[in-house]
A and B are shown apart, each in its own frame.
Chain A
Amino acid sequence: MSYLTEGRRKGIRSWILSTDHKRIGVLYLVSMVSLFFIAVLIGVLMRIEQLTIETPMFEPQTYNAFFTVHGVIMIFMFVLPGLPAVFGNFFLPIMIGAKDVSFPRLNLLSWYFFIAGTGLVVASLFTGAGPPDTGWTFYAPFSLTSGTNVSLGVFGAFVLGFSSILTGLNFITTIHRLRAPGMKWHRMPLFAWSLYGTAWIQVLATPIIGITLLLVIAERLFGIGVFDPAKGGDPLLYQHLFWIYSHPAVYIMILPAMGAITEIIPTFARKTIFGYKAIAYSSLAIAFLGSLVWGHHMFTSGMSEKANLVFSLLTFIVAVPSAIKVFNWTATLYKGSIEVRPPMLYALTFVFLFAIGGLTGLMQGALAVNVQLHDTYFIVGHFHYVMFGGTGMGFFAALLYWFPKMFGKTYNEKIAVFAWVPIFIGFNMLYFAMLVLGYMGMPRRYFTHLPQYRTGHIIASIGGFILAVGLVMFFANLVVALKRGRKAEQNPWGGVTLEWKIPTPPPLENFSIIPRIDDRPYRFNPEGS
């Protein structure tokens, strides 16, 4: 018996009314991957537009809607809920030896908020005066005056925020209250540590964007004049409030991915993690310091010089805990018995691509360079390296790692590796070309480009198409595995955390007897053999 077959209800109701954390995790997985492919399709359409600038395929206004919707879906509905909502929900209780999260009903409610927010955003595309055209940042004063359906889209993002806050609250309580007997803080798996850091950002920062978005709506409907300079408002205040949330949100996206990578690397290096405490506390340090660097999105906005200096300094400091993680992963690999199976391949790809994303981020932390690169394709390239190369690749690695445990089926490992080739090549063609284009001066969010950027755009577009093919291969492999995959073993990778010690797929309440934890995690050869 497993969570897939047990339960009081049958059919669709057994899913949408289930308070089991594993089923809710799967609900998120299905909803998010569907949305991901819609956003990928929009991304492909944008690359087609850049190939056909002589006879544009889409109107400029349509292109504006494309990048807005692509951004809103990818950020708010895929990478932000991303790993916490899917793998956090599914594995956090199991990894700490609990039967469920602290508030299972609240957990299901969070998913309903997610779906309601998504529904509102989708409705904003087809109702009123057309899809929002502000970019995913909804910057004032344009978002206050745009004739498109900004209010509904913004309200959708507001509702999505509730989902995030409640999930964070649930995870904090679960980690504090439901750890198995003997599981002290320093015996907790590092994925749980990363979720803990993430949950605090979700709880503390998300309300700020919630209020800010409501103020945008109030300003549009009632003209209250908080952000509108024509009424004595301060548009820079909008940018501050937006980024006070949205920069830490980047760490909501990346921290759990780092946590998943920290699980995968020791398993496939057959070696305990190097620097357990350093990794655990660097998650908290990233969560804290990452909350103080929002102003680096505003260096060219007219903010005071002193603020520019302070934020630039803080930005360089936040690189330290991120680098600690990368060094610890590398040190874990050193003299390990490394086996490059699909999850490990994608995990190593994460490290490589995230390093490029991180280092290009540091470049922009320098004030003079930032002025040159602001609002160019360099920024677009950089954050795709972090969010897609980082969070996206972390999500894929985590999916490949935990898929057999979640569904009790094995996928075709050869195809997973085969799909990696177009993903890796296409990714770098697309986003490295963007870095170069941006350095040359190509501004972001333009539906067309000047002739000197032509070659770069062709390379990027071809890369985008190759990447899309790789993504289809990747997910098709998993869908086929669901239907026709062989039965998975209990512990196919030789992992040592708790999820590998229970049956595959896990039973309804995970453990018949709550385990007692007497040792730290990641002990691959406790006898010292």
Chain B
Amino acid sequence: MGHETHVHIVPYRVFVRVWLLLLVLTGILVATSTLWHEALSVWAMLIVTPLKAGLVLFYFMHLNYEKPYLRALVFLTLGVLTLFIGILFFDILDR
């Protein structure tokens, strides 16, 4: 069989570090929602949540070790979804 044997062995410590970072980011989110003004928690959510999702995609789902074009395709998909939602605001903000 001529299939590719292109496997990345990621050390456990990488996963542990990413997991700890995710916990810290979650802690930040919880803190901003309870400690400060509620508007801040929305901004924290908008900034921190994509960061967390990115960490999961890149390390736990191995996107970091894929070819650039596959990475591009994932972000193209997310970009289109963001664009759809963004255009909706031309209506919703001014109605």
Contacts and interface: CB of A to CB of B under 8 A. Distances in A.
Interface stretch (B28-36, B42-50, B53-61, B87-95): B87-95
A429 to B, nearest CB: 39
Contact of A304 (B80, B83, B84, B94): B94
Contacts of B90: 295, 304, 306-307, 310-311
Nearest to B80: A204
Contact of B94 (A204, A292, A307, A311): A307
B77 interface: yes
A295 B91 contact: yes
A249 to B, nearest CB: 14
A199 to B, nearest CB: 12
Given A204-B77, A204-B80, A306 B94 contact: yes
The size bracket of the interface on B is: 10 to 19
Interface of A: 204, 208, 236, 240, 244, 291-292, 295, 302-307, 310-311
A244 B90 CA distance: 14
Contact of B87 (A236, A302, A305, A310): A310
B91 A244 contact: no
A305 B94 contact: yes
Contacts of A295: 87, 90-91
A305 B91 CA distance: 8
Contacts of B83: 292
A304 B89 CA distance: 10
Nearest to A172: B73
In this complex, the member of B77, B81, B87, B91 whose beta carbon has the largest number of chain A beta carbons within 10 angstroms is B91
Contact of A240 (B77, B81, B91): B91
24 contacts: A204-B80, A204-B81, A236-B95, A240-B91, A244-B84, A291-B80, A291-B84, A292-B83, A295-B87, A295-B90, A295-B91, A302-B95, A303-B91, A303-B95, A304-B90, A304-B91, A304-B94, A304-B95, A305-B94, A306-B90, A307-B90, A307-B95, A310-B87, A311-B90
The majority secondary structure among interface residues of chain B is helix
Nearest to B85: A244
Given A236-B91, A291-B80, A307-B94, 20 more contacts: A204-B77, A204-B80, A208-B84, A236-B95, A240-B88, A240-B91, A292-B83, A292-B87, A295-B91, A303-B91, A304-B90, A305-B94, A306-B90, A306-B91, A306-B94, A307-B90, A307-B91, A307-B95, A310-B87, A311-B90
Contacts of A204: 77, 80-81
Contacts of B80: 204, 291
Contacts of A236: 91, 95
Contacts of A307: 90-91, 94-95
Contacts of B88: 240
Nearest to A305: B94
A306 B88 CA distance: 11
In this complex, the member of A295, A302, A304 whose beta carbon has the largest number of chain B beta carbons within 10 angstroms is A304
Contacts of A310: 87, 90
Contacts of B87: 292, 295, 310
Nearest to B70: A176
B82 to A, nearest CB: 12
In this complex, the member of A306, A310, A311 whose beta carbon has the largest number of chain B beta carbons within 10 angstroms is A306
Contacts of B95: 236, 302-304, 307
Contacts of B93: 304
Nearest to A204: B80
Nearest to B89: A307
Nearest to B87: A292
Contacts of B92: 304
6 A-B pairs with least C-beta separation = A304-B94, A307-B91, A307-B90, A304-B95, A306-B94, A303-B91
Nearest to B95: A304
Nearest to A176: B69
A244 B82 CA distance: 13
B90 to A, nearest CB: 4
Contacts of B77: 204
Nearest to B81: A204
A178 to B, nearest CB: 14
A208 B83 CA distance: 14
B3 to A, nearest CB: 12
A29 B44 CA distance: 52
A310 B64 CA distance: 37
A32 to B, nearest CB: 28
Contacts of B84: 208, 244, 291
B29 to A, nearest CB: 26
A291 B87 CA distance: 11
A273 B90 CA distance: 40
B39 to A, nearest CB: 23
Contacts of A303: 91, 95
B68 to A, nearest CB: 13
Nearest to A203: B77
Nearest to A292: B87
Nearest to A303: B91
B41 to A, nearest CB: 24
A305 B95 CA distance: 8
B83 to A, nearest CB: 7
A305 B88 CA distance: 13
Nearest to A234: B92
B93 to A, nearest CB: 8
Contacts of A311: 90
A295 B83 CA distance: 14
A305 B90 CA distance: 9
A304 B95 CA distance: 4
A160 to B, nearest CB: 21
Nearest to A309: B90
